[in-house]
Every structure is written in C-alpha cells, then in structure tokens.
C-alpha cells in the first residue's frame, strides 16, 4: 500500500513518461489499491475536507499522502510529529535544494530553515504555494517605504523582486541572479555595448548601483543623488569651483559635456572635443567655418589647450592669464596664455633675424608693438585667437574705445614682408 503512495507522490513531483508508466502499471496490477489510501481520513468531511481545493497544491497533499510529512504518534489519536525538522523535511523530497544553503549568499529564512515563512506547505492561491504575492512577502521583512518612494524601478513596481534576486540563495551579492553589471544589461540591452568602449566610467565598470538605486529613488533616473553632488562623491569639488565658471559646471550639468557611462572619446566626451564645444558655441563655429586660417588648437579641435572647460581664475576660462584690457603695460606674465606655445623671446629682443617674420630688416616689430609702459598692445590687438580670413591670424577689426568702434585691420602679405592698413596709424610696410 505504501509503495502506491510513493508512486502517486512521484507523479505529482516528476511527471515524466517513466513515472506515468509506473503509475499506470500500478493501477492496472493493483486496482484494489487505486481508491484506498491510509491517509484518506485526513481529508474526510469531518476533518480537513477543504484541503487541496486551491489552485496550487503541494504534491503530497494533492496525492493524499499526508504521512510523507506528518508521522502519526502511535497510540494517540490525531497527534503527529514531523518526519524531520525544518529544512531537512523539505530537502527529503526537494533534494536539489540542498545546494541552496551552501551558496555564497543565502536568504535569511532559508539559512534559518524557515521554508514555511514564505511557502504554505499544503496549498495556496499563489504559484509555488507562496503565502502571498512575492513582493508582499518581501515587505514582511524589508521596509516597504524604501522601495516605493520617488521613481520606482520597473521590476519593483511590478512586484517582481525575483526578476533580480533569487529568493533562496546565490553566488552573487544580495542574492542577485547574475553579477550586477550583467544583470543590469540583461534588461537595459541598449547599454550592452558600454563595456566595449575605449573609456568606461569607473563607477560603471564597478557597479551601476554606485550611481543608481536599483529599487527606488526620489531623483531623476533613480540616481542616488543629484548632479553635481553625485559627481563630487568621487571628484574633488575644489577642482570645479572657480572665479570664472563654465556655464554647464555652474549649473551642475556635468552630463552636458560628459557621458556618465562610457565613450570612445577621451574624458568621456560624447563626441570629439572640438565638436562638443561647438555644439553650444555654434556662433563661433559658424565664424570659424568661414575662415581660411585657423589657429592650431582650433584646427585640431583642442579647445582645452587654451581653455579650462571646468573653470578658471582667468578671463574667458583661459588656463593661463591673458589681459582682458586692450592696453596693458608689458609684463611677460600678462601673456602667459600665448607663451604656453609661442616663444616669449619674440617680445624681449629689439633686434632679430630669426625669432619672427614680423620685422623690418632686423627691427623686431613684435617688440615695438608690445613693449610700451602704458599702451602696450596685447596679442589680440592684431591677432584673432580662433580663426581669420587673413594670413598670420590677423583679425579684420578690433573693438576699440568705450564706444566699441570696430577699428579696421587690413593686412597684405608680401613675399618679403607685408603692409598694414589700420585705423590706428597710417599705412605702413615692412620688408625683411
């Protein structure tokens, strides 16, 4: 009789063809046993007659084999002992689950052998004979408020905690079904190419949850903090607070210039550096595109060579000092921005035949223009720092005086020198 009970139970546990065959043979060979079981009284009308009626029924209950788990106490009516204690009773049948408790990260109820904290051992209206909807079970231990505030992650909002977490155990932290990065891109497939890019943001390489709360957050895109405070968690704030600030930095809009995840461009730029700057400074791009002569850094798309994109203590967020005023008494440090690349000796030698082509014979005309006690001309009096339509980066005009009159500058290049026709003096020629 007991053998038939086991066969019936196996039928509910493993519905493969072999078990079906064994069950069929047993019913043919032992018809008298097909309708007689020692546990039938458990579900009699005056006892547990409502058992086994719900949508999801535990195998032994469905097979009517109560004594698989409950062992009658001899000599005592309706008194039972469990066949084993805690998880050992469950593992007697669910032997594949033994591995759960030796995994790296085990869910607390599992580790404590409290399977019935989540599962009804008899029957349930919920799949896997759970005691309730999965997320509701989770909230019995986990604070609901932490998972329902602000923007809520899709699986959490749908009550599908098990999309990301294994409810029993896992080799991954927090019982995740996959390592955290693999898990995120298993849904966010549009980000799957991030790890193939040349430059990956360190928090992304380490774990998405460094910046994003995987459950819920009051911040946009489920960020754990607003920018730039989020960025300052790793980057030193002092490096971004300057007297002359760049607007995106001042607004805390770091992601206007940097991709927060990954990029094939240096510094996590979403596009090449020069194109990035011109995406805002489009009026400058329009001007530069019309010019035949471009300053070297501009030609190379290297705006950062002269400007600090985060901020500076200097005019126009220049990396080195350059005077804002048109006239300024000469000092070498006043032109530090230009002397980063250009030889400063060009303004120290009154006579030369090698330092510059802007000379009349050996008379150094750079020295002549710059070295003035009061009205020393800065480089921008003659040169446009970005691009021009005249050789030598000579500008077409320069704002002059309090009325901002556009003082004209016309340069004609000769094979051995040139001619300047300007608003500040009569036309002058020079020949080397």
**Could you tell me the residue ranges of all domains in the chain?**
37-132, 134-223, 229-315, 320-431
The whole-angstrom separation of Cα 244 and Cα 249 is 11
Asked if residues 107 and 117 have their Cβ atoms less than 8 Å apart, the reply is: no
The answer to whether residue 17 scores a pLDDT higher than 60 is no
The whole-angstrom separation of Cα 328 and Cα 333 is 12
User: In this predicted structure, what is the pLDDT of residue 335?
Assistant: 86
Asked if residues 255 and 262 have their Cβ atoms less than 8 Å apart, the reply is: no
pLDDT confidence band for 45 (50 / 70 / 90): low
Nearest to 172 by CA among 104, 102, 108, 98: 104
Q: Which residue in this structure is represented by tokens 């899709």?
A: 154
Q: Which residue in this structure is represented by tokens 């990954």?
A: 262
Per the model's pLDDT, the better-predicted residue between 55 and 400 turns out to be 55
What element of type H or E holds 26? helix 17-29
User: In this predicted structure, what is the pLDDT of residue 39?
Assistant: 66
* Least reliable range by pLDDT among 82-86, 168-172, 178-182: 82-86
* Mean pLDDT confidence for 325-340: 86
* Mean pLDDT confidence for 233-237: 94
What element of type H or E holds 137? helix 134-138
pLDDT confidence band for 385 (50 / 70 / 90): very high
Q: Which residue in this structure is represented by tokens 């493993």?
A: 14
* Mean pLDDT confidence for 366-395: 89
Asked if residues 115 and 107 have their Cβ atoms less than 8 Å apart, the reply is: no
The answer to whether residue 163 scores a pLDDT higher than 50 is yes
* Least reliable range by pLDDT among 86-90, 107-111, 241-245, 420-424: 86-90
What element of type H or E holds 15? none
Looking from the CA of 71 toward its CB, the CA atoms found within 13 Å total 8
Nearest to 184 by CA among 159, 205, 158: 205
* Mean pLDDT confidence for 39-65: 83
SS3 290: coil
User: In this predicted structure, what is the pLDDT of residue 98?
Assistant: 74
Backbone angles phi, psi at 196, to 5 degrees: -95, -10
The whole-angstrom separation of Cα 101 and Cα 421 is 89
Average pLDDT over all residues of the chain: 86
Handedness of CA 96, 101, 106, 111 (dihedral sign): positive
pLDDT confidence band for 328 (50 / 70 / 90): confident
Confirm whether pTM is higher than 0.95.
no
User: In this predicted structure, what is the pLDDT of residue 424?
Assistant: 84
Asked if residues 291 and 389 have their Cβ atoms less than 8 Å apart, the reply is: yes
């Amino acid at each position: 009789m007991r053998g038939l009970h086991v066969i019936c139970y196996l039928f509910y546990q493993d519905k493969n063809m072999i078990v079906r065959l064994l069950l069929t043979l047993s019913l043919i060979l032992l018809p008298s046993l097909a309708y007689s079981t020692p546990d039938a009284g458990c579900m009699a009308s005056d006892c547990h007659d409502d058992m086994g009626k719900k949508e999801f029924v535990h195998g032994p209950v469905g097979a009517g084999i109560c004594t698989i788990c409950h062992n009658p106490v001899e000599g005592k009516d309706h008194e039972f002992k469990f066949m084993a204690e805690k998880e050992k009773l469950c593992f007697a049948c669910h032997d594949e689950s033994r591995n759960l408790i030796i995994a790296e990260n085990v869910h607390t109820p599992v580790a404590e052998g409290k399977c019935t904290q989540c599962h009804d051992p008899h029957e349930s209206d919920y799949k896997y004979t759970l005691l309730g909807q999965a997320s509701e079970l989770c909230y019995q231990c986990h604070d609901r408020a932490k998972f329902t505030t602000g923007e809520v992650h899709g699986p959490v909002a749908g009550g599908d905690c098990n999309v990301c977490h294994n409810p029993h155990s896992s080799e991954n932290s927090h019982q995740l079904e996959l390592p955290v990065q693999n898990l995120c891109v298993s849904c966010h497939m549009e980000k799957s190419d991030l790890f193939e890019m040349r430059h990956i943001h360190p928090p992304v390489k380490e774990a998405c949850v460094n910046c994003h709360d995987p459950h819920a957050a009051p911040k946009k895109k489920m960020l754990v903090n607003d920018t730039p405070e989020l960025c300052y968690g790793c980057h030193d704030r002092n490096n971004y607070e300057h007297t002359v600030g760049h607007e995106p930095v001042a607004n805390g809009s770091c992601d206007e210039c940097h991709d927060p995840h990954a990029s094939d461009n240096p510094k996590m730029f979403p596009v090449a550096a020069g194109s990035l700057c011109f995406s805002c400074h489009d009026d400058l791009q329009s001007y530069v595109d019309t010019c035949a002569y471009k300053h070297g850094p501009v030609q190379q798309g290297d705006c950062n060579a002269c400007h600090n994109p985060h901020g500076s203590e200097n005019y126009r967020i220049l990396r080195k000092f350059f005077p804002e005023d048109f006239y300024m008494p000469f000092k070498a440090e006043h032109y530090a921005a230009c002397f980063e690349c250009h030889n400063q000796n060009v303004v120290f030698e009154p006579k030369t035949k090698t330092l510059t082509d802007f000379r009349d014979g050996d008379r150094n005309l750079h020295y002549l223009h710059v070295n003035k006690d009061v009205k020393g001309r800065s480089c921008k009096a003659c040169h446009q720092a970005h691009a021009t339509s005249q050789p030598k980066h000579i500008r077409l005009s320069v704002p002059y005086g309090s009325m901002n009159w556009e003082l004209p500058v016309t340069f004609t290049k000769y094979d051995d020198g040139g001619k300047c026709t300007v608003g500040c003096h009569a036309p002058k020629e020079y020949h080397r």
